[in-house]
Amino acid sequence: MSNTAGQVIRCKAAVAWEAGKPLVVEEVEVAPPQKMEVRLRILVTSLCHTDVYFWEAKGQTPLFPRIFGHEAGGIVESVGEGVTDLQPGDHVLPIFTGECKDCRHCKSEESNMCDLLRINTDRGAMLHDGRTRFSKNGQPIYHFLGTSTFSEYTVVHVGCVAKINPQAPLDKVCVLSCGISTGLGATLNVAKPTNGSTVAIFGLGAVGLAAAEGARISGASRIIGVDLNANRFNDARKFGVTEFVNPKDYDKPVQQVIAEMTDGGVDRSVECTGNASAMISAFECVHDGWGVAVLVGVPNKDDAFKTHPVNLLNERTLKGTFFGNYKPRSDIPGVVEKYMKKELELEKFITHEVPFSEINKAFDYMLRGESLRCIIRMEA
């Protein structure tokens, strides 16, 4: 791979030229990595709902043309100036948020919200010089979340790259780049249920099911899945969910339903929908004295919720989390090892697979609510 180092690479990428229009798979130019950057050869990528949300451009400033994609697995092709902990041939997962290892957040054992590299959905260029590494016929093509994995080659800041076990199958562990780690870590690192405890999961999409998987790994005795879509209940059993509640089936608040089911409330709850009323329910359904509720879902920018202060005074705890409190470079290699040791199951999250040439099918599956994760193979 080193014979391309320092040169512009021409390769295929799926370019979004307009909001909501099918991606176009075509040849683009990918410039060499600059200071503290690495160029990756992407072998597999997958589609996350965040890609779809920004492709639709319904709730934010549109930025096009753009190359989306942020869940992927690949191999380092070349490194830029100053990069010392990665080298060509390393197997890696690019991550939508980063770890510079120098700021207060990175030096804190409690935080993973790097000052330099935390998620920025508006940025379409590289930090080093404010320019893009993608172009077509001289026209810049914008980056997405610093990763842009819907391309055979991409350039990423070194702080957003997790070096992993080369034996790990990239077509499985690539899903750990975003949603699965977010849900899993929300339970394992933040809610921290104990063996035999009761856990409620609000929202049974991919992130919620990963949170349920975390509860299963923790040895929870009851995992209650809460969702408005009853079609999700059967599949959720594979992830350890033992009981289901559809709020539409009751004429009282779902937190009251759960409290009655569990003698006063669950020990832990994890909210994965981003819906403000679900956030209230997730907090108010935990038991007084020791209950902990964790918010994972991203709300609309104008959302707010209220709860009576007595709910806090009665020793319930409300927490938030970002990317499951995992530090990308330090922690994600260890999550990959959990999979390698068969402590974590990833295959059940992967419901579909398409070749890169048919990437728009992955969008169709997600828009129809048929997929958890669709693997997109670059070489197919």
Measure the N-to-C terminal CA separation of the chain; round to a whole number of Å. 20
Domains defined along the chain, listed by start: 180-324 (3.40.50.720)
Checking if the pLDDT of 31 tops 60, the result is yes
> Long-range pairs for 337-343 at CB < 8 Å and ≥24 separation?
337/165, 339/168, 339/172, 339/173, 339/176, 340/165, 340/167, 340/168, 343/217
**49-56 helix and 359-367 helix, angle to the nearest 10 degrees:** 90
Strand-pairing partners, residue 15, are 24
**pLDDT given at position 168:** 98
Checking if the pLDDT of 257 tops 90, the result is yes
**276-284 helix and 254-261 helix, angle to the nearest 10 degrees:** 30
Q: Quick count: other Cβ atoms within 10 Å of Cβ 58? A: 11
**pLDDT given at position 246:** 98
Checking if the pLDDT of 3 tops 90, the result is no
Checking if the pLDDT of 240 tops 80, the result is yes
What confidence category does residue 2 fall into, taking pLDDT thresholds of 50, 70 and 90?
A: low
**pLDDT given at position 220:** 98
**pLDDT given at position 300:** 81
* Residue partners of 377: CB distance under 8 A and separation at least 6: 43, 44, 171, 353, 354, 355, 356
| Tens of pLDDT, residues 301-343 | 789 999 999 999 999 999 999 999 999 999 999 999 999 999 9
Q: Is 3 exposed, middle or buried (0-12, 13-18, 19+ CB in 10 A)?
A: exposed
Q: Work out the percent of the chain whose per-residue pLDDT is above 70.
A: 99
What confidence category does residue 62 fall into, taking pLDDT thresholds of 50, 70 and 90?
A: confident
Q: What residues are annotated to the active site?
A: 48-50, 70-71, 100, 103, 106, 114, 118, 178, 373
| Tens of pLDDT, residues 171-203 | 999 999 999 999 999 999 999 999 999 999 999
Q: What is the 3-state secondary structure (H, E, C) of the chain?
A: CHHHCCCCEEEEEEEECCCCCCCEEEEEEECCCCCCEEEEEEEEEECCHHHHHHHHCCCCCCCCCECCCCEEEEEEEEECCCCCCCCCCCEEEECCCCCCCCCHHHHCCCCCCCCCCCCCCCCCCCCCCCCCCEEECCEEEECCCCCCCCECEEEEEHHHEEECCCCCCHHHHHHHHCHHHHHHHHHHHHHCCCCCCEEEEECCCHHHHHHHHHHHHHCCCEEEEECCCHHHHHHHHHHCCCEEECHHHCCCCHHHHHHHHCCCCECEEEECCCCHHHHHHHHHCECCCCCEEEECCCCCCCCCCCCCCHHHHCCCEEEECCHHHCCHHHHHHHHHHHHHCCCCCCHHHEEEEEEHHHHHHHHHHHHCCCCCEEEEECCC
Amino acid at 19: A
Structure tokens at 28: 């683009």
**pLDDT given at position 155:** 98
Give 2 or 153, the one with higher predicted confidence: 153
Q: Report how far residue 376's alpha carbon sits from residue 354's, in angstroms, rounded to the nearest whole number.
A: 5
pLDDT average, residue stretch 210-236: 96
| Tens of pLDDT, residues 95-133 | 999 999 999 999 999 999 999 999 998 899 999 999 999
**pLDDT given at position 98:** 97
Checking if the pLDDT of 380 tops 80, the result is no
pLDDT average, residue stretch 227-251: 96
Q: Report how far residue 247's alpha carbon sits from residue 242's, in angstroms, rounded to the nearest whole number.
A: 17
What confidence category does residue 281 fall into, taking pLDDT thresholds of 50, 70 and 90?
A: very high
pLDDT average, residue stretch 346-361: 97
Q: What does pLDDT average to over the chain?
A: 96
pLDDT average, residue stretch 257-275: 97
Q: Report how far residue 192's alpha carbon sits from residue 267's, in angstroms, rounded to the nearest whole number.
A: 10
Peptide bond into 88 cis (omega under 30): no
Q: Work out the percent of the chain whose per-residue pLDDT is above 90.
A: 94
**pLDDT given at position 1:** 46
pLDDT average, residue stretch 154-170: 98
